[in-house]
A and B are shown apart, each in its own frame.
Chain A
Amino acid sequence: MEPVLAVLVGLLVAAAVYLMLARSFLLYLFGLILVSNAANLVIFAAGGLTPGAPPLIETGALAPAGPVANALPQALVLTAIVIGFGLFAFALVLAFRAMTELGTIESDEMRIAEPPEAGR
């Protein structure tokens, strides 16, 4: 499965980069979601994949009975998902606010705080 995940992560990252470079901020947001997913998968895969056994300990036992999935990347990914959601929501609101304030969702036109460019 690791090679498949590696290919999928590459695909997700490529799609995310392409979308984030688009003029529309909306596509940027889509890219953000994809790249968050890719990052989570990278962390998860880098910790090693163990099919089946969740990192839980039987009642009464002091340690897991057999080899179980790596708990550390799981903890990292879990919080990353929630934070990624917060980031996405904030960026979405930012896009919406930009739309109402500036009348555009194209990031190239959001230059109200920048000095004028030569030749423009």
Chain B
Amino acid sequence: MAASAGRQRTALTAGAFLPTLLPAALFAVLAAAIPEVAAGAVLRGALDWVPSLGIRLSFRIDGLSLTFATLITGIGALIMLYSGQYLHGHPHYRRFMLFLTAFMLSMLGLVLADNLITLFVFWELTTLTSYLLIGFDHGTAKSRRSALQALLVTATGGLALLAGFILMGLAGGSFELSDLLADPRALAAHPWYPAILVLVLLGAFTKSAQVPFHFWLPNAMAAPTPVSAYLHSATMVKGGVYLLARLHPGLGGTDAWFWALTLAGATTAVFASLMALRQSDLKQALAYTTLMALGTLTLFLASDVAVAVTAAVTFLVVHSLYKAALFLVVGIVDHATGTRDVARLSGLGRALPVTAAAAALSALSMAGFPPFLGFIGKELTYKGALALSSVPYSVAAAVLTANALMVAVAGIVALRPFWGRAEPEPEPGRVPHEAPWPMWVGPLALAVLGTVLGLRPGLAEALVGPGVAAVLPGGEAYELKLWHGVNVPLILSIATFAIGGAIYALRRPLAAALVRAGAASPLDFDRGWDRLLDGFKVFAAGLTRIVQPGRLRAYLRFTFLTLLGVLAVTLALRTGLPAPPDLPALSWRELAVLALIAGGTGLVVTTDSRVAAVAGLGVVGIGVAIVFIVYGAPDVAITQLLVETLVVVLVAVALLRLPFLYRDGRVLHRPWDAALAAGIGLATTAALLLVVEAPPDRRVTDFYEVAAVPEAYGRNIVNVILVDFRALDTLGEIAVVLVAALGALVLLRGVAGRARG
């Protein structure tokens, strides 16, 4: 981290607190709505956006969105306060605050949106703003890579999500979430349900970093610590979880939903806890514990058992509180010592007493010790796991593994650095010192809140209960209590502490073994990602080499072949070919035109002489002009003849200075080109014969004919169309003519200028 020890000593100006005001005010407004929403009210507001497509800027606040929204704004306010100090004096501080605020508002929009498309727009906005935040330190290649990786993974999921949303809207007949979720099982019964489920889960799993899309999240730790605390623990990655919870009434309750979420969640939770153990960087370890939390949340949204859903919502709150606090603590430690390496940090408690207290409270909550909120959360996860009718023991085992590993990681990350022998200077030249108050107030507040809510679970229920009710309409939230008597979850809790303690004691050999196992494992998602990208680049380069060879003739061949294909398919789809024209019965007029055009064309194609070719072109032009004269188009005929004249002049001036024609103009030299040309010619003839078979649609012309005199005071209908009815087209056309002339002028002047110079 670039922030130096000296910088934070300077006093903060009032302006540094300014960004905090917005989230704080929003938080106050939302918190004031808690009693009302807890009583069952749903607050709404809407604006029409694209009414023709059923897209509205509609928002609603129910229990679930309020739970998320209070977390987003509350933690947001603390993070803003923290960032003001953390990035104090940073040259791009304002930019950072702008990004962070934009992110917070996008996230808020995401959880409050009541329209699928609106929700999607905010979803993508969080992706974009998080790209900017992860890549904030854009001077380093690592940041840029991580930002791009996060963007590509989540935006790919976002595309899938959009497709899923559109299918959902079409299947359900509305894009309003309230309408769609009003009839809970209608979507699940729809034939498109499997497609919708796959697409939506793809979006949710990439956003919430479920295995195998998890790899971007640890990399995203390249972002400044407040960003990690906010985006990658409390908010953005929870977007996917929010979506799962929000759509639970509509899409949940099926076997497919249950197994997809259970498998993804359990795999992610166990995998991430193991990975967390082997990290030496504090932030990386926390990143993996976040993954574990996301897995657990996904796991408990799989079923529609009330206890499991209560576990999910409770754990969501618990996790947001302690994880944001711990990230902020890591930021303080980093700031104070200049390192985040677990092995080099110990005994910081004396130098950083407040931070140590916040860390300890949060770590105990994370480990799930009573009387913290974490304990209630963990008990609930066991209850929830055991309540799953189909697979209680395997889920409970997975949760036990993950929780035990969390105990160990909590000890390693949050307790170890503060206890034991004090290192005077973990990093040479940096004497650890306590952070200024704007930095420690956030983690401390969150840690204390976790404790208070643990001691008074009734307060937490105000947030959790309505949330559960929104996920499970009609479902009762399980009561939050510290003491439920001696039962299976309590025994499992005790087992968790025992196993966790053992893992903590054996952490060094275990971590070493995991590192070895990881090195031996052929599965490296991060490197696989690189390989995937490289593959895309090779593919794109190969494709470009094929379709863009830089040769005019190759482009033309592609174009003509496509044209031939389109014409052939069109003709094949029409019933049969048109009748061949009756050539013997031609009038003298038709014969004259035929002779002129066919003769001129033949001359152009076969001659070796430029003069003869130009003469042939002239003959063709005159033949075409005759057609115009005969069929009542005097204006066109005059134009055609004048242009023919001018072409001859131009050609006379320029063409004769260009080199002679080449011999490959002869038919025999290029049989394939000749075949292609003949094919397109025949297809064009056939198509035109079909077109002229049907009488033309003259409705537009009829209008022009009767409107020309009364409305445009003109008796030459062609001219009236050109300068009045369709004058805008004409304006565009004369602009093209002007640009062509100016372009040619510049090209020619360039030649002359070079010749003179």
Contact = CB atoms under 8 A, between A and B. Distances in A.
Given A3-B582, A10-B684, A93-B744, A71 B664 contact: no
A50 B628 CA distance: 10
Given A19-B605, A19-B665, A92-B655, A82 B692 contact: no
Interface stretch (B267-275, B393-401, B472-480, B722-730): B722-730
Nearest to A45: B692
A81 B643 contact: yes
A12 B678 contact: no
B685 A7 contact: yes
Interface centre among A16, A54, A108 (most CB of B within 10 A): A54
Nearest to A84: B643
Interface in B591-650: 593-594, 597-598, 601-602, 604-605, 610, 613, 617, 620-621, 624, 627-628, 630-636, 639-640, 643, 646-647, 650
Interface in A1-23: 1-23
B624 A40 contact: yes
Interface string A80-120: 01111111111011111101110001111011011101000
B655 to A, nearest CB: 7
B706 interface: yes
Contacts of B582: 3
B654 A17 contact: no
A48 B696 contact: yes
Contacts of B716: 55-57
Contacts of B681: 10-11, 13-15, 17
Interface stretch (B214-222, B247-255, B547-555): B547-555
Given A56-B716, A96-B658, A107-B551, A69 B620 contact: no
Given A22-B662, A89-B650, A93-B744, A9 B698 contact: no
A114 B552 CA distance: 12
A96 B657 CA distance: 8
B738 to A, nearest CB: 9
B646 A85 contact: yes
Given A46-B696, A75-B718, A51 B581 contact: no
B392 to A, nearest CB: 62
Interface in B104-124: none
A10 B682 contact: yes
Contacts of B701: 47, 70-72
A35 to B, nearest CB: 10
A6 B550 contact: no
Contacts of A72: 700-701, 704, 721
A75 B643 CA distance: 16
Contacts of B628: 44, 77
A55 B695 contact: no
Contacts, number: 307
A21 B718 contact: no
A52 B741 CA distance: 36
A106 to B, nearest CB: 8
B98 interface: no
B560 A17 contact: yes
B699 to A, nearest CB: 10
B692 A78 contact: no
Interface residues of A, number: 95
B696 A70 contact: yes
B632 A51 contact: yes
A78 B726 CA distance: 13
Contacts of A78: 635-636, 639, 718, 722
Nearest to A82: B737
A52 B655 CA distance: 37
B620 A110 contact: no
Contacts of A53: 632
A20 to B, nearest CB: 6
A11 B581 contact: no
B604 A19 contact: yes
Nearest to A106: B662
Contact of B597 (A8, A40, A45): A8
Interface stretch (B13-21, B365-373, B490-498, B746-754): B746-754
B685 to A, nearest CB: 3
B633 A41 contact: no
B640 A87 contact: no
A110 B640 contact: no
Interface stretch (B407-415, B500-508, B525-533, B707-715): B707-715
A101 B755 CA distance: 11
A79 B730 contact: yes
B655 A26 contact: yes
A23 B551 CA distance: 10
A68 B737 contact: no
B459 interface: no
Contact of A74 (B556, B581, B633): B633
Nearest to B685: A10
A16 B705 CA distance: 36
A85 B715 contact: no
Contact of B741 (A19, A75, A89): A89
Interface of B: 549-553, 556-557, 560, 581-583, 586, 589-590, 593-594, 597-598, 601-602, 604-605, 610, 613, 617, 620-621, 624, 627-628, 630-636, 639-640, 643, 646-647, 650-651, 654-655, 657-659, 661-662, 664-665, 667, 670, 673-674, 676-678, 680-686, 688-689, 691-692, 695-696, 698, 700-701, 704-706, 708-710, 715-718, 721-722, 726, 729-730, 733, 736-737, 740-741, 743-744, 747-748, 750-751, 754-755
| Ranked 5 nearest A-B pairs via Cβ | A14-B681, A3-B581, A10-B685, A69-B632, A114-B550
6 contacts: A3-B583, A78-B636, A81-B640, A86-B737, A89-B741, A114-B549
Interface of A: 1-28, 30, 33-34, 37-38, 40-42, 44-59, 61-64, 68-72, 74-75, 77-79, 81-90, 92-97, 99-101, 105-108, 110-111, 113-115, 117
